[in-house]
């Protein structure tokens, strides 16, 4: 039986992502215009459900103009798991379980349901809050595109445009100076941004977390390429690549901090190849700015379908894209499994067919 809904909450957690505002807009408009519900924005991830002064009414008027805006009007955080909330008390780190406060505050705020937008971490918390009785639905978000239950997440397409544009721009300098350019893109566990932007940008080498590589193999390939008269090369690196055990001096590579892996690989290539190497780390530029049309549309469809899940009383589920259609999957199925690049996929075979190298063999 469809539940009686008067008011819903919307929260987003984890890193920001182009398209978050489009989901919020889609959900607010579908709730108000389609169902006559009230909508409350929960600020700063689940923090806004722990401290209720961090909430804001969302109306058709108050969200006007947010569709093309990057970031999120609700603010976000990738800390603050209500089940294990770390705070400092008298100079010491103490961990609290605030999940029951979230349940109480749902009642205090008179929220009949909650939409949680996020990546694997946020959606896991959403699933667990659902198990405590909060009527919750999820929307998948990450530029990394590594959630297993959906073909694509919003944010990926925008990040791909940024990364491809950067590779195009770096290509011209590489060509003019005869350099090796190393471009580090995001992708903590999966190499989707590196693979797609590498193919779209015409990279020569693409290094992914899913394909083990050696610096020697990369350099052998770059030497062969130089021997055919190519004076420059483009090497795209996913930030999550697993470095080989030893650097060219036979010493262990240090465990890289975020944004460092491209430099370690660039230095190692320079050491072996004795060529001019330059490194660019794209970092959060990939998460910033206005979402692409594809992401705006996908995010809008996700936001509207999240509202329809609530209207039908289908809680504990996450909206997803399958064969181009918006569907849903249980949050239990949706979390915990990272969608990785399959080294045997047609995408990898396509790249190899046109001479791209993955550092596994030259
Ligand atoms: O998960 C998305 C992502 O952009 C990763 O690619 C990256 O490792 C991480 O977020 C960076 O997060 P932060 O904003 O905390 O530096």
Considering the domain architecture, whether residues 132 and 12 belong to the same structural domain is answered as yes
Q: 256: domain range?
A: 159-287+343-353
How do residues 176-195 score in pLDDT, each as one tens digit? 999 999 999 999 999 999 99
φ, ψ dihedrals at 39, nearest 5°:
-130, 135
Which residue reads 């990546």 in tokens?
Answer: 119
Query: Which residue CA neighbors atom 14 of ligand 1 most closely?
Result: 15
Query: Which residue CA neighbors atom 12 of ligand 1 most closely?
Result: 15
Nearest Cα to Cα of residue 103 among 78, 81, 124, 82: 82
For residue 301, how many other CB atoms are within 10 A of its CB? 18
- Report CA 328 to chain centroid distance, whole Å: 19
CA of 288 relative to ligand 1 center, distance in Å: 12
Considering the domain architecture, whether residues 125 and 212 belong to the same structural domain is answered as no
How do residues 192-206 score in pLDDT, each as one tens digit? 999 999 999 999 999
The predicted pLDDT at position 347 comes to 98
The predicted pLDDT at position 245 comes to 92
Q: How confident is the model at residue 362 (pLDDT cuts 50, 70, 90)?
A: confident
The predicted pLDDT at position 358 comes to 98
Considering the domain architecture, whether residues 30 and 140 belong to the same structural domain is answered as yes
Catalytic position from the list 144, 146, 204, 295: 144
Q: Would the pLDDT of 356 be above 80?
A: yes
Pick the atom of ligand 1 nearest to 15's CA. Answer: 14
Question: Ligand 1, residues 259, 287, 338, 340: which to mutate, most atoms within 8 A of Cβ?
Answer: 287
Average pLDDT over residues 261-286: 97
Rounded Cα distance between 312 and 23, Å, is 19
Rounded Cα distance between 338 and 148, Å, is 6
The predicted pLDDT at position 318 comes to 98
The predicted pLDDT at position 1 comes to 74
Rounded Cα distance between 226 and 223, Å, is 5
Considering the domain architecture, whether residues 349 and 205 belong to the same structural domain is answered as yes
Query: Which residue CA neighbors atom 7 of ligand 1 most closely?
Result: 188
- Number of domains the chain is built from: 2
Considering the domain architecture, whether residues 142 and 214 belong to the same structural domain is answered as no
How do residues 34-69 score in pLDDT, each as one tens digit? 999 999 999 999 999 999 999 999 999 999 999 999
Pocket of ligand 1 (CB under 6 A): 15, 78, 119, 142-144, 186-188, 239, 258, 287
Pick the atom of ligand 1 nearest to 287's CA. Answer: 4
Average pLDDT over residues 74-91: 95
Rounded Cα distance between 303 and 39, Å, is 13
Considering the domain architecture, whether residues 209 and 349 belong to the same structural domain is answered as yes
CA of 111 relative to ligand 1 center, distance in Å: 30
Cβ partners under 8 Å of residue 12, min gap 6: 20, 23, 24, 45, 72, 74, 76, 116, 117, 118, 122, 141
Q: Fill in the DSSP letter of residue 173.
A: H
Q: Average pLDDT over the chain, rounded to whole?
A: 97
The predicted pLDDT at position 39 comes to 98
Question: Ligand 1, residues 162, 188, 281, 284: which to mutate, most atoms within 8 A of Cβ?
Answer: 188
Q: Would the pLDDT of 258 be above 90?
A: no
Q: How confident is the model at residue 2 (pLDDT cuts 50, 70, 90)?
A: confident
The predicted pLDDT at position 285 comes to 97
Considering the domain architecture, whether residues 43 and 128 belong to the same structural domain is answered as yes
CA of 147 relative to ligand 1 center, distance in Å: 14
Q: Is 144 among the catalytic positions?
A: yes
CA of 224 relative to ligand 1 center, distance in Å: 35
Rounded Cα distance between 244 and 265, Å, is 10
CA of 15 relative to ligand 1 center, distance in Å: 6
The predicted pLDDT at position 211 comes to 98
How do residues 297-354 score in pLDDT, each as one tens digit? 999 999 999 999 999 999 999 999 999 999 999 999 999 999 999 999 999 999 999 9
Considering the domain architecture, whether residues 150 and 11 belong to the same structural domain is answered as yes
Considering the domain architecture, whether residues 24 and 109 belong to the same structural domain is answered as yes
Average pLDDT over residues 222-241: 97
Q: How far is CA 137 from CA 36, 93, 211, 220, 342, in A?
A: 19, 32, 35, 50, 29
What's this model's pTM, rounded to 2 decimal places? 0.96
The predicted pLDDT at position 174 comes to 97
Pick the atom of ligand 1 nearest to 159's CA. Answer: 4
186 part of a folded domain: yes
Average pLDDT over residues 161-174: 98
Q: Do 362 and 346 meet the contact criterion of CB atoms below 8 Å apart?
A: no
Q: Kindly tell me the sign of the dihedral angle through the C-alpha atoms of 115, 121, 124, 125.
A: negative
Considering the domain architecture, whether residues 116 and 185 belong to the same structural domain is answered as no
Considering the domain architecture, whether residues 264 and 310 belong to the same structural domain is answered as no
């Amino acid at each position: 039986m469809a539940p009686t809904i008067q008011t819903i909450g919307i929260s987003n957690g984890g890193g920001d992502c182009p398209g978050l505002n489009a989901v919020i807009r889609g959900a607010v408009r579908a709730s108000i215009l389609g169902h006559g519900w009230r909508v409350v924005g929960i600020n700063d991830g689940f923090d806004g459900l722990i401290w209720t002064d961090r909430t804001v009414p969302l109306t058709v008027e108050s969200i006007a103009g947010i569709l093309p805006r990057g970031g999120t009007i609700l603010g976000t955080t990738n800390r603050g798991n209500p089940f294990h909330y770390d705070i400092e008390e008298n100079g010491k780190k103490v961990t609290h379980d605030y999940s029951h406060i979230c349940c109480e505050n749902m009642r205090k705020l008179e929220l009949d349901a909650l939409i949680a937008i996020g990546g694997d971490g946020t959606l896991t918390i959403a699933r667990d809050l659902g198990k405590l009785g909060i009527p919750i639905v999820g929307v998948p978000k990450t530029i990394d595109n590594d959630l297993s239950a959906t073909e694509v997440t919003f944010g990926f397409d925008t990040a791909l445009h940024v990364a491809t544009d950067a590779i195009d721009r770096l290509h011209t300098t590489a060509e003019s100076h005869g350099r090796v350019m190393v471009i580090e893109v995001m992708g903590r566990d999966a190499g989707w941004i590196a693979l797609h932007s590498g193919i779209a940008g015409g990279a020569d080498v693409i290094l992914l977390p899913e394909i083990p590589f050696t610096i020697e193999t990369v350099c052998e390939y770059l030497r062969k390429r130089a021997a055919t008269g190519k004076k420059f090369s483009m090497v795209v690196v996913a930030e999550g690549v697993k470095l080989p055990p030893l650097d060219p001096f036979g010493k262990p590579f240090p465990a890289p901090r975020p944004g460092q892996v491209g430099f370690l690989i660039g230095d190692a290539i320079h050491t072996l190849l004795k060529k001019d190497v330059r490194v660019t780390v794209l970092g959060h530029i990939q998460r910033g700015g206005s979402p692409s049309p594809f992401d705006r549309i996908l995010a809008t469809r996700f936001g509207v379908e999240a509202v329809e899940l609530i209207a039908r009383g289908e809680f504990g589920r996450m909206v997803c894209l399958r064969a181009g259609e918006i569907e849903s999957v249980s949050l239990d199925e949706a979390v915990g499994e990272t969608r990785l690049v399959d080294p045997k996929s047609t995408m990898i075979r396509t790249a190899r067919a046109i001479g791209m190298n993955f550092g596994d063999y030259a």
